[in-house]
Structure 1
Amino acid sequence: MTQQGVRWSADQVLALAPDAASRKAGSKLGAAGPWSETGSSGEGTMWGLCKGSGSKPYRTVVDVADVSGPAYRCSCPSRKFPCKHALGLLLLWAGDDSAVPRSDAPDWAEEWIAGRRERAGKKGTDDSSDAASAGGTGDPEAARRRAERRAERITAGATELEQRLADLLRDGLAGAEQAGYALWEETAARMVDAQAPGLAARARELGALPASGPGWPVRLLEECALLHLLDQGWLRRERLPEALAATVRSRVGLPASADGPPVRDRWLVLAQYDTADTRLTTRRVWLYGTDSGRTALLLSYGAAGRAPELALPVGLTLDAELSAYPGAGGQRAALGRQFAPPAPTETRPPGVPTSRAVARYGEALGEDPWLESVPVTLGRVVPVPDGDSWQLADADEDSALPLSPASRNRPGLWRLVALAGGRPVTVFGECGHRGFTPLTAWPGGPGPAVTLC
């Protein structure tokens, strides 16, 4: 990644920050002023002393050359990962060759670097040993009985949920507004008891719709229909094609393993963003295989208030293997063996017209009716105002895509407008029934990727 002077951009560094406060604080430390005794191995490892509030400077060392991903060590008391000092050192390295010159690592940095290399080698040996001995440690019969018991509980939960949906429609949707959120929260709790977390999540969404503003009865009816379809899919799963049955199992909440054959490619990082609730932070990373042409989704999780460990800044490529999870969509994958550290690149994904993006979403719904959106790269589109909203107008066709309501109030919208300047750009995002959510853009001419989320 760092051979021949190739370095990360500031945007790629700041994408590692766990929150906005860390990005702001790290940016202030991205100058030479507070740093001393900085150095680099020239192979993606760097170190330095950063002046803090105490009498002793903080010792900071960063390794972005390991195939398992960036790693950080700092003597500061911060519990954030990476801390502002690690971000500042990375920004210093990314912005100025002379600010982090090649040199021999001091003892305190060399000890940590050597320890990481040793642990990485040992992990590779342990993984090989585990793979060789896999298959003989479990009890298949016990696992089968557990799966059967869980399926029975889910079936009972789906049957009960069907009855509650029938009661709602028989009594009229107005009753949902009067009953409030408590009715569906209790229903969700029943689905949790039935070990069907996917059904529980959709039941909770029903409870929030009556308070979602004008037009809520239509939205409630639509979601009831999708939930009914999922219930019926589970109750009749033996009659479904295997790919669709796997999708139903996943939507209900049954765990699955990434058992697809490993696909090695140079995977371009298209987008990375987090969503959070009171219990969990979910990170989504979209990748594009430059050789296979496949788009894949990596999911990782962290406890509430903490960023997941996996961090792949936009604009890097990763020489690695991915294995797909079962299901009709085939987009979610697990990151497997990595053959080299992530490296900056000027590669872009090919774009499609807006009309093709809509058609692609329609085709995907035929395989997964509960799909909210599909990943797609739009080629040569121009952001233009559309009344109180915005749309992406196709420069080569008489068609356009409206932006989703969630994207209209994000700073990324104005970043996209400024990048385009009225000229066509390439935009990657998620296209769904609510519109298009832009996540990353590339200028019409040469230039790096610009994150919009």
Structure 2
Amino acid sequence: MNQLGVRWTADQVLALAPDDASRKAGSRLGTAGPWSETGSSGSGAVWGLCRGSGGKPYRTVVDMAGSSPAYKCSCPSRKFPCKHALGLLLLQAADERGLRAAAPGAAAPGAAAPDWAQEWLTARRESAGRQQEQGVAGGPDGELGNSAKAVDPEAARRRAERRAERISTGATELEQRLTDLLRGGLATAEQTGYQLWEETAARMIDAQAPGLAARVRELGAIPASGPGWPVRLLEECALLHLLDQAWLGRDRLPEPLAATVRTRVGLTRPAEGPSVRDHWMVLAQYDTPDAKLVVRRIWLYGRNSGRTALVLSFGAAGRAPEIALPPGLMVDAELTYYAGSGQLRADLGELFGLPVPIDAAPPGAGTAEAVGAYGVALKDDPWLESWPVVLSGVIPIPAEDGWQLADEKGESALPVAASALSRPGLWKLAALSGGGPVTVFGECGHRGFTPLAAWPDGSAQTVALVDA
């Protein structure tokens, strides 16, 4: 944004929306018509009054400081951000005049916020400052996070041992289930239906092994996945058997691999170790919702360290996750990585200043190098579905059974994953290329390449290929 050190694009704003309905409603409010008394400050605040169906306009304020935007609106919506917050940000992103176009009563750039907005901004920032000083992750009500609570090491050790025993019992039971399946033949999986798998998954939940439960549910869905399902079922059974055996023999594994196994079965530990400060380029952000939870995946690339990081954020169904970093921005921040092979997942720590637009596309490699990078990663984590890679100088071209990304010389190519073929982002990528080379970021796995963002040749403008 022009008054905040960075001007967000409409696509970046809409990436904050919790669902498609909010995107559409927010887009309708992204014009000057319903707004009055709008303004923005150099500290990252945006505010305005939006005319609604009632007698009083809705008071909307957005705070862009911190790890993600925060919103306050007097409307009754339970969605965050609501359509009014999205509309206000779209109005700011519309043109160079931004909020000043929303007459009457628009404030001059950098003006002080009105009392109703300033009161909330002050309370929020004071609360954030107290939490940072205390070194805890509390909420806006000032509750202490887990790190502030006293921990009894001996009690924690006993709890960890009991949980490990339950997981081992679950893994042993799962091994018997897989043995029964293979002894009876894979065809029995289609006959028995999904219920038996769901019961097995519930047993893994009882054993406090949510990672095993998730893989069991995936097994149950394979017989209904179409032609070739027996091969896919056998492959997944083999991987699940490998995970079971790795857990049961974890004491004999190297520590990085043992940490990966613990994570895969669902036994995670907090991010620890030295933090990495860098200028992190936001390459992609997308949500995967289900009935109970929305998981947001944010891919970052360190401009100086050359490291890639995955930041996960979670939200209840119907609510956007807490962290939002739209693609195309760069943040000066600290990350702390989780233990385990590959070390991709990280927690977002302190931010130093406001985000700014990236000034160049990330460095990339060819398609052959991308496959090689995935192969190396598989050596450390055999259960890895995909690996983040940046492809440079590739051209999207149609193939007999879909699309592929070929290098300029035509010597090698990566097939686009079947799950991405029906997404509008693929056609956006083809239009962006126009038959010429582009830089593409995505996830390379055994099912193909899933494009997530692209940059035209020689451009720093990030084009998101997947909706948040």
Residue in 2 that maps onto 1:443 = 456
Residue in 2 that maps onto 1:112 = 120
1:261-306: CA deviations, max 9, x gaps?
1000111111001112222111100000001000000111112232
- 1:75 and 2:74 are equivalent in the alignment: yes
Provide the C-alpha distance between the structure 2 equivalents of 1:84 and 1:181, rounded to a whole number of angstroms: 40
Residue in 1 that maps onto 2:105 = none
Q: Report the secondary structure of 1:336's partner residue.
A: strand
Alignment map for 1:125-274 (pairs within 5 Å): 125-127=133-135, 137-274=150-287
User: Judging changes above 3 Å, is the alpha-carbon distance between structure 1 residues 151 and 29 closer, same or farther for their aligned structure 2 residues?
Assistant: same
Q: Report the secondary structure of 2:202's partner residue.
A: helix
Provide the C-alpha distance between the structure 2 equivalents of 1:347 and 1:43, rounded to a whole number of angstroms: 26
Alignment map for 1:308-327 (pairs within 5 Å): 308-327=321-340
Q: Report the secondary structure of 2:246's partner residue.
A: helix
Residue in 2 that maps onto 1:16 = 16
Residue of 340, 347, 364 corresponding to 1:334? 347
1:227-253: CA deviations, max 9, x gaps?
000011011111111100111111011
Provide the C-alpha distance between the structure 2 equivalents of 1:447 and 1:331, rounded to a whole number of angstroms: 24
- 1:291 and 2:291 are equivalent in the alignment: no
Q: Report the secondary structure of 2:374's partner residue.
A: helix
TM-score by length of 1: 0.95
Q: Report the secondary structure of 2:135's partner residue.
A: helix
Letter in 2 for 1:212: S
State the shift of 1:440 in Å. Answer: 0.5
> Sequence identity of aligned pairs in percent?
69
Structure 2 unaligned runs (5+)?
100-107, 139-143
State the shift of 1:114 in Å. Answer: 2.0
Residue in 2 that maps onto 1:38 = 38
Residue in 2 that maps onto 1:89 = 88
User: Judging changes above 3 Å, is the alpha-carbon distance between structure 1 residues 58 and 398 closer, same or farther for their aligned structure 2 residues?
Assistant: same
TM-score by length of 2: 0.92
User: Judging changes above 3 Å, is the alpha-carbon distance between structure 1 residues 134 and 445 closer, same or farther for their aligned structure 2 residues?
Assistant: closer
1:354-386: CA deviations, max 9, x gaps?
000000111100000000000001001111100
Contact 2:443 2:450 in 1 (8 A): yes
Residue in 2 that maps onto 1:98 = 97
Letter in 1 for 2:235: E
State the shift of 1:223 in Å. Answer: 0.4
Letter in 1 for 2:120: W
State the shift of 1:105 in Å. Answer: 2.0
- Worse-matched range after superposition: 247-256 or 105-114: 105-114
Alignment map for 1:393-404 (pairs within 5 Å): 393-404=406-417
State the shift of 1:135 in Å. Answer: 8.9
Letter in 2 for 1:34: P
Contact 1:68 1:341 in 2 (8 A): no
Q: Report the secondary structure of 1:291's partner residue.
A: coil
Letter in 1 for 2:296: R
Provide the C-alpha distance between the structure 1 equivalents of 2:378 and 2:91, rounded to a whole number of angstroms: 46
Structure 1 unaligned runs (5+)?
none
Contact 2:136 2:148 in 1 (8 A): no
Provide the C-alpha distance between the structure 2 equivalents of 1:129 and 1:424, rounded to a whole number of angstroms: 44
- 1:423 and 2:440 are equivalent in the alignment: no
Q: Report the secondary structure of 1:78's partner residue.
A: coil
User: Judging changes above 3 Å, is the alpha-carbon distance between structure 1 residues 115 and 442 closer, same or farther for their aligned structure 2 residues?
Assistant: same
Contact 1:268 1:287 in 2 (8 A): yes
Alignment map for 1:298-309 (pairs within 5 Å): 298-309=311-322
Contact 1:67 1:342 in 2 (8 A): no
State the shift of 1:98 in Å. Answer: 2.4
Contact 1:2 1:42 in 2 (8 A): no
- Worse-matched range after superposition: 288-297 or 23-32: 23-32
Contact 1:380 1:396 in 2 (8 A): no
State the shift of 1:154 in Å. Answer: 1.1
Letter in 2 for 1:121: G
Provide the C-alpha distance between the structure 2 equivalents of 1:377 and 1:217, rounded to a whole number of angstroms: 33
Contact 1:38 1:99 in 2 (8 A): no
Provide the C-alpha distance between the structure 1 equivalents of 2:46 and 2:175, rounded to a whole number of angstroms: 59
Residue of 339, 359, 365 corresponding to 1:346? 359
Alignment map for 1:23-62 (pairs within 5 Å): 23-62=23-62
1:410-440: CA deviations, max 9, x gaps?
0111111111111111110000000000000
- Worse-matched range after superposition: 360-369 or 2-11: 2-11
Provide the C-alpha distance between the structure 2 equivalents of 1:134 and 1:387, rounded to a whole number of angstroms: 55
Letter in 1 for 2:284: A
Root-mean-square deviation over aligned CA pairs: 2.0
Contact 2:360 2:460 in 1 (8 A): no
1:149-190: CA deviations, max 9, x gaps?
111111111111111111111111111111111111111111
Contact 1:280 1:303 in 2 (8 A): yes
State the shift of 1:397 in Å. Answer: 4.9
Q: Report the secondary structure of 1:223's partner residue.
A: helix
Residue of 394, 398, 405 corresponding to 1:381? 394
User: Judging changes above 3 Å, is the alpha-carbon distance between structure 1 residues 424 and 148 closer, same or farther for their aligned structure 2 residues?
Assistant: same
Provide the C-alpha distance between the structure 1 equivalents of 2:10 and 2:281, rounded to a whole number of angstroms: 18
State the shift of 1:104 in Å. Answer: 3.0
- Worse-matched range after superposition: 31-40 or 401-410: 31-40
- Worse-matched range after superposition: 341-350 or 148-157: 341-350
